[in-house]
Chains A and B, each alone.
Chain A
């Protein structure tokens, strides 16, 4: 269901009050491909941008980048993949060709002093190719980092990874990209997300992507879950004594808001549990 622009703006504004420092606001992609993000300009211009908070947006190509900057974006993201087949099916070109497109974005971004975050999809497995070699992930990550991305978010796109494959993949990537520039983006499709994140933290990764209420299913497994819930992640980090600056109660309230607006149940277990401790 397409979410009304006002609801999106409310959501982002509420998230900005929780202590989160980075909120991915929208995607400057053609509405033909992603109707849900058709209101990207309105959202970007409608949100209340708080100081100290970054609102990156996706920009798949130069055109998207220019539209984003015109709408007020101060940070952008580009999405690569460690799988040739996934790249072909997703954006209809090879990995090499996609990196060439991104190069144009990088050049323009550098000129405008706009930081660029790079995502690598399918780092622990691909819905089409199956197993993905850690070396391939390291290779694509290195290329994107060398291009000028300040951070590389490694995405377990179909949630198939386990602490075993996470460790193997990170070991390879950390040979090419400094750990301070790495992030993990784990999906919880097989329930492995928090365990995978824990391993990444143990290896020195200190940037983690998550989605309030675990919004976002898996397009490759009907009915299965996708993103890991920010509430569940923060709960774990709090228990580990790791500082995030995020207020869990405010975050849960935000999750409640968006789930009510979407008329759906939360995917966050912390939210579901009514036990008060």
Chain B
């Protein structure tokens, strides 16, 4: 009742990107069995979607070289989606052969970022994704579309909301069921989030939108709050805030799932996720990586011995 009265969504779907986006941006190469253990633990927390791995060439992303083994090795819990990244048709076929039942494609709202990241223009990347989307449609495989640099680009700086809306619309029109808008370098604030969403919402139905906020400048939760106040009901996050920012040395990247859930719980919004079990999964992976968690909720809770 509390969330309804305030105009916020009653339920928010959390998409857990730690095992892919998170680990991909961690320096230490994680053994396959640790990845599988992490995903299995996350499967028991109530999270409805867990991004498992990326079917990209191991030359580019060594951390994801074991994509087949991970895909085949994880437990598949009923009611949980296990999407994987597929940058092109080859990756898509490989993913399907390994048992994937949902895939993701990564576009960008910045030409420079697209060129530097995947060595082609936005238009060329869209053409590649269309091939994937076509094959996926034929096989009834849902495709999620990501738009990077939605609130700013490490090379171009400011990104205009109209560009984000344009790229989002292309991905949506090709059949992506959901568009995840990523603040790739975490530079966004509630101000720029609002302007960007207003532009995108003119082209894409609200129910097909997700936000993927990075906490590099500490703005993630405020940005997520702004998005959910506007009706967005899907939020990406990473257990223990895994995954630094490759563009700002030593800076943080993904927002921590624990901190997002803590906020949503406080707002009376249902997520279906058990915060304590997520913290335990976070504790597991941080121990395995020999690093401190980036989640403030986890830091505070494990130190007082109490969870609030």
The answer, yes or no, to whether B272 is at the interface (CB within 8 Å) is: no
Task: Scan B218-262; emit 1 where CB is below 8 A from any A CB, else 0.
Answer: 110110111000000000000000000101111110001001001
The answer, yes or no, to whether B130 is at the interface (CB within 8 Å) is: no
Interchain CB contact (< 8 A) of B245 among A125, A190, A236, A273: A273
- Check B157–A277 contact: CB distance below 8 A: yes
The answer, yes or no, to whether B30 is at the interface (CB within 8 Å) is: no
Interface residues of B in 271-301 (CB under 8 A from A): 295-297, 299-300
Chain B residues within 8 Å of chain A by Cβ, number: 47
The answer, yes or no, to whether B186 is at the interface (CB within 8 Å) is: yes
CA distance A165 to B6 in the complex (A): 12
Chain A residues whose CB sits within 8 angstroms of the CB of B42 once the complex forms: none
Q: Which of B33-41, B105-113, B162-170, B189-197 contacts its partner?
A: B189-197
The answer, yes or no, to whether B268 is at the interface (CB within 8 Å) is: yes
The distance from the CB of A6 to the nearest CB of chain B, in whole angstroms, is 30
Interchain CB contact (< 8 A) of A269 among B154, B251, B268, B300: B251
The answer, yes or no, to whether A272 is at the interface (CB within 8 Å) is: yes
- Check B267–A162 contact: CB distance below 8 A: yes
Chain B residues whose CB sits within 8 angstroms of the CB of A236 once the complex forms: 189-190, 218-219, 222
- Check B296–A195 contact: CB distance below 8 A: no
Given contacts A232-B218, A275-B185, contact A167 B299 (CB under 8 A): no
- Check B189–A164 contact: CB distance below 8 A: no
The distance from the CB of A238 to the nearest CB of chain B, in whole angstroms, is 7
CA distance A221 to B152 in the complex (A): 35
Chain B residues whose CB sits within 8 angstroms of the CB of A199 once the complex forms: 225
The distance from the CB of B271 to the nearest CB of chain A, in whole angstroms, is 13
Task: Scan A9-22; emit 1 where CB is below 8 A from any B CB, else 0.
Answer: 00000000000000
CA distance A163 to B262 in the complex (A): 10
Which residues of chain B have a CB within 8 Å of any CB of chain A?
A: 2, 6, 152, 154, 157-158, 185-192, 215-219, 221-222, 224-226, 245, 247-252, 256, 259, 262-263, 265-268, 295-297, 299-300, 303-304, 308
Which residues of chain A have a CB within 8 Å of any CB of chain B?
A: 125, 130, 159-165, 167, 188-192, 194-195, 197-199, 218, 220-225, 229, 232, 235-236, 238-241, 268-270, 272-275, 277
Q: What are 25 of the A-B contact pairs (CB < 8 Å)? A: A160-B308, A162-B262, A162-B267, A163-B263, A189-B296, A190-B300, A191-B295, A194-B221, A221-B304, A222-B304, A223-B303, A224-B296, A235-B219, A236-B189, A236-B190, A236-B222, A239-B191, A269-B217, A269-B251, A272-B252, A273-B216, A273-B251, A274-B249, A275-B154, A275-B248
